């Protein structure tokens, strides 16, 4: 029966057939969420769903000033919003977009799922621009760090939501996810890692390598790592073809010298550069040093693997123009667009004199110790039964996670060696 006081009287009904168990679960949910009736709950659910599925009105962007800040033989730094740069750029004209977008947007908020959606909404116009300017055989590479939800030892899903959005809504293909392992990463947040000891340290950034088609141009022969000592001796002494316990047949070709080994998608690169021409230049001139630079070896890897000399590389969140400097050194045309002119002032140092920002000839390796190889007596190390919810229960309040902790009886010498990075870190 319609209520006479309501402007849009609810005159129709719908009935839902369900099992007794489904009905009980629904009633329980309605009660838990504080709705008066099942109808109120279903109406609220439908409203939220319809709202999220309705495209937002297209708001026309007002272009901001975009100025060429500096030009080199092969590229240019632009000061302004990269959305404006992309609007002017002709379609299908960029071979590689190599970038690390800001994730401060997530940090300022609560890191919950709501923020993951907000991040995707903020990213949408960039996704549209990327899709327009990228060539069909081009690549889009996004370096993006994870984020903790404040107050709990759990993580935001925002970077995974971004990946799913780019693939499902904008039609990008995931060529291969990479993980940039920074051996020099500090154990943060200290509260979960060092104080309450309920999480290991997060030391990787996700790097989404995406493409417009399933077949972006690429070659892993361009990014070889030096052979390990055991592989060198195998090449020297020859390899006996055999079947591995896994069933894989390994032929004599395994022992062929291909000039280096195909790297894994775990990129071991320490971000430890605290001295160097860029920092000195900024300090001398009293400029802000960009706080979120990536190491040159990261863009170098993707520029080498997915572009040829003369191709065009864009970094739409240019920062201190690491991508531009590497592209210039590798003979690629390039553009870096950065909103904050102060960062471009510091970036000028990267194009003065002869600077060697490339990895070749500077091979190094890191040692990853196998976890659990340090023997621990479990009877002496109870699990943190409340998952770290209360701080007072913890025994170990040391600030140095690597040294602190349970009694270590033996350190294993079993190691995995990696060969891709630019600086060794103990
Ligand atoms: C994570 S930093 C990139 C750092 C850079 N990879 C480096 O190594 O120096 C992201 C940068 O994007 C810039 N930025 C944010 N929104 C932008 C926009 N719409 N257009 C251009 N730059 C933007 C920020 O000012 C910030 O410097």
Are 276 and 317 in a shared domain?
yes
Q: Give the position, in ligand 1's atom list, of the atom nearest the Cα of 340.
A: 25
Where a domain ends, among 305, 338, 363? Answer: 363
Residue 48 lies in a domain: no
Which is higher by pLDDT, 174 or 233? 174
Are 233 and 297 in a shared domain?
no
Are 272 and 308 in a shared domain?
yes
Are 310 and 341 in a shared domain?
yes
Are 346 and 278 in a shared domain?
yes
Instruction: Give Cα 51 to chain centroid, integer Å.
Output: 30
List the structure tokens of 217: 């141009």
Residue 36 lies in a domain: no
Domain that holds residue 238: 227-260
Cα 205 to Cα 122, 147, 270, distances in angstroms: 20, 10, 12
Q: Which of 67, 87, 102 to mutate to test the pocket of ligand 1 (most atoms within 8 A of CB)?
A: 102
Are 235 and 157 in a shared domain?
no
Residue 231 lies in a domain: yes
CA of 338 to the centre of ligand 1 (A): 6
Are 252 and 269 in a shared domain?
no
Residue 39 lies in a domain: no
Where a domain ends, among 235, 260, 285? Answer: 260
The active-site residue out of 101, 183, 263, 299 is 101
Residue range 60-115, pLDDT digits in tens: 788 889 999 999 999 999 999 999 999 999 999 999 999 999 986 665 655 566 67
Instruction: Tell the residue nearest (CA) to atom 7 of ligand 1.
Output: 293
Question: What pLDDT score does 36 carry?
Answer: 82
- 418's CB contacts (< 8 A; 6+ apart) are 225, 264, 266, 268, 365, 366, 368
| Residue environment code for 155-194, b if the CB has 16+ CB neighbours within 10 A, otherwise e | ebbbbebbbebbeeebebeebeebebbbbbbebeeebbbb
Q: What gap in Å lies between CA 232 and CA 248, rounded to an integer? A: 22
Are 136 and 254 in a shared domain?
no
Look up the CATH number of the domain holding residue 201: 3.40.50.150
CA of 251 to the centre of ligand 1 (A): 48
pLDDT greater than 60 at residue 290: yes
Where a domain ends, among 311, 334, 363? Answer: 363
pLDDT greater than 90 at residue 141: yes
Catalytic residue status for 143: yes
Residue 399 lies in a domain: no
Q: What gap in Å lies between CA 344 and CA 348, rounded to an integer? A: 6
Catalytic residue status for 263: no
Residue range 265-274, pLDDT digits in tens: 999 998 876 6
Are 169 and 192 in a shared domain?
yes
pLDDT greater than 90 at residue 133: yes
Q: For the residues 323-352, what does the mean pLDDT come to?
A: 96
Which is higher by pLDDT, 23 or 413? 23
Residue 331 lies in a domain: yes
Q: Give the position, in ligand 1's atom list, of the atom nearest the Cα of 293.
A: 8
Residue 395 lies in a domain: no
pLDDT greater than 90 at residue 391: no
Question: What pLDDT score does 1 carry?
Answer: 46
Q: What gap in Å lies between CA 380 and CA 402, rounded to an integer? A: 18
Residue 179 lies in a domain: yes
Q: Which of 318, 334, 335 to mutate to test the pocket of ligand 1 (most atoms within 8 A of CB)?
A: 318
Are 131 and 275 in a shared domain?
yes
Evaluate whether 379 touches 370 at the Cβ level (below 8 Å): no
CA of 344 to the centre of ligand 1 (A): 10
Are 95 and 156 in a shared domain?
yes
Catalytic residue status for 100: yes
pLDDT greater than 70 at residue 336: yes
- 140's CB contacts (< 8 A; 6+ apart) are 96, 97, 130, 134, 166, 172, 208, 209, 210, 211, 212
What is the count of structural domains for the chain?
2
Are 133 and 211 in a shared domain?
yes
Q: Which residues pair with 210 in a beta bridge?
A: 140, 174
Question: What pLDDT score does 2 carry?
Answer: 47
Question: What pLDDT score does 216 carry?
Answer: 97
For ligand 1, which residues put their CB under 6 angstroms from it?
81-83, 100, 102, 290, 292-294, 317, 319-320, 322, 337-340, 343
């Amino acid at each position: 029966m319609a209520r006479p006081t309501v402007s849009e009287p609810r005159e129709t009904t719908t009935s839902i057939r369900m099992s007794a168990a489904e009905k009980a679960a629904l009633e329980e949910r309605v009660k838990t969420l504080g709705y008066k009736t099942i109808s109120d709950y279903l109406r609220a659910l439908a409203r939220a769903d319809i709202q999220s599925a309705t495209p937002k009105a297209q708001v026309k962007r007002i272009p901001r000033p975009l100025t060429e800040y500096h030009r080199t033989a092969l590229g240019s730094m632009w000061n302004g919003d990269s959305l404006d740069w992309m609007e002017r750029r002709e379609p299908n004209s960029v071979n590689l977009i190599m970038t690390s977008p800001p994730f401060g947007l997530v940090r300022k908020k609560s890191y919950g799922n709501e923020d993951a959606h907000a991040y995707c909404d903020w990213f949408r116009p960039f996704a549209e621009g990327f899709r327009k300017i990228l060539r069909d055989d081009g690549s889009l590479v996004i370096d993006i760090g994870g984020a903790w939800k404040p107050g709990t030892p759990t993580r935001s899903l925002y970077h995974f939501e971004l990946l799913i959005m780019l693939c499902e809504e904008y039609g990008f293909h995931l060529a291969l996810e990479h993980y940039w392992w920074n051996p020099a990463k500090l154990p943060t947040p200290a509260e979960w890692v060092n104080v309450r000891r309920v999480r290991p340290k997060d030391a990787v950034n996700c790097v989404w390598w995406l493409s417009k088609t399933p077949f972006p141009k690429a070659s892993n022969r361009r990014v070889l790592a030096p052979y390990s000592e055991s592989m060198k001796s195998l090449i020297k002494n020859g390899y006996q073809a055999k079947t591995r316990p896994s069933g894989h047949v390994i032929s004599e070709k395994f022992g062929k010298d291909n000039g280096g080994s195909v790297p894994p998608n775990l990129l071991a690169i320490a971000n430890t550069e605290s001295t160097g021409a860029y920092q000195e230049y900024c300090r001398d001139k009293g400029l802000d040093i960009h706080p979120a630079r990536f190491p040159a070896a990261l863009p170098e890897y993707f520029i080498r693997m997915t572009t040829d000399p003369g191709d065009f590389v864009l970094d739409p969140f240019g920062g201190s123009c690491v991508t531009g400097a590497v592209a210039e050194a590798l003979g690629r045309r390039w553009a870096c667009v950065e909103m904050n002119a102060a960062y471009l002032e510091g970036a000028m140092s990267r194009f003065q004199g002869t600077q060697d920002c490339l990895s070749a000839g500077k091979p190094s390796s890191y040692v990853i110790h196998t976890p659990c190889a340090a023997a621990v007596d479990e009877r002496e190390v109870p699990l943190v039964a409340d998952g770290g919810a209360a701080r007072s229960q913890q025994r170990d309040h040391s600030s140095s996670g690597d040294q602190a902790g349970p009694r270590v009886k033996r350190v294993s010498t079993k190691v995995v060696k990696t060969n891709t990075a630019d600086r060794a870190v103990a």
